[in-house]
Chains A and B, each alone.
Chain A
């Protein structure tokens, strides 16, 4: 397989997807990271409450959602490779990416429904304040990523992007992968650490 190597690849001013998206990526990573460190500090102060509250979480569903998101990342990366080499499978790959993003949101919705059915809300205890905020903000990011990639797919179909003009799609791809990256550390810390 031949892959396109862009001349600006090694430029400090042009990381994959462009400089601006990487500023956003680092700001997001730092925000979620700081939030999780605060979560751990609160957890240390009230370990019993946090441990018992964590038992209510559906970690199997969380693991399935992790695999769904990782698979969507694979198809996003494959879609971009296809676009860069002018392949015909870009539409299919990005379509699968979007479908997996929607599946992630649906599973997350079911998880939230389970909690609400149990009477667990925002003010149940300190653990669930963090749970709703962190997973909720992440879910909003996934929603934005789905809208962004759908818009890119629409524009690819209408011929606005091609193998020589793919920077915006690459930027959207970085945003999509950022959702993966955040979930990668959010899931084990909230659902699994005990």
Chain B
């Protein structure tokens, strides 16, 4: 047992806890992305339909898209041109979806 306990500690800390010890802003972004995913799902289930739903869904899509781009891909460190192109794409696309929905 004296041999098992230290190994168990190492196992728990290395394999179970270390995944949680990573870039704090990445974790916050991930929590936000998952929360928005759940919000997307429940908005479509109960709250809205038609054009209203399209507006809510695409609003959330824009936020999630920018969250992944700026935080996970680290576009926040890129040249302004790339930020404008990236943000411009999702805004125009989101608008088109609302129009066509």
Instruction: Count how many pairs of residues, one from A and one from B, have CB atoms less than 8 Å apart in the complex.
Output: 134
In this complex, how many residues of chain A approach chain B with their Cβ under 8 Å: the count is 51
In this complex, how many residues of chain B approach chain A with their Cβ under 8 Å: the count is 47
Given contacts A29-B89, A37-B100, A192-B41, contact A184 B79 (CB under 8 A): no
Given contacts A81-B23, A181-B68, A194-B49, contact A92 B77 (CB under 8 A): no
Interface string of A104-124 (1 = CB under 8 A from B): 000000000000000000000
From DSSP, what is the main secondary structure of chain B's interface residues? helix
Taking CB as reference atom, which chain B residue is nearest A38?
B100
Taking CB as reference atom, which chain B residue is nearest A194?
B49
Q: Pick the residue among A41, A173, A194 that contacts B100 (CB under 8 A).
A: A41
Distance in angstroms between the alpha carbons of A193 and B93 in the assembled complex: 15
Distance in angstroms between the alpha carbons of A97 and B64 in the assembled complex: 19
- Is A86 part of the binding interface, using a Cβ–Cβ cutoff of 8 Å? no
Are A181 and B69 in contact, with the CB atoms below 8 A? yes
Are A77 and B64 in contact, with the CB atoms below 8 A? no
Distance in angstroms between the alpha carbons of A3 and B24 in the assembled complex: 12
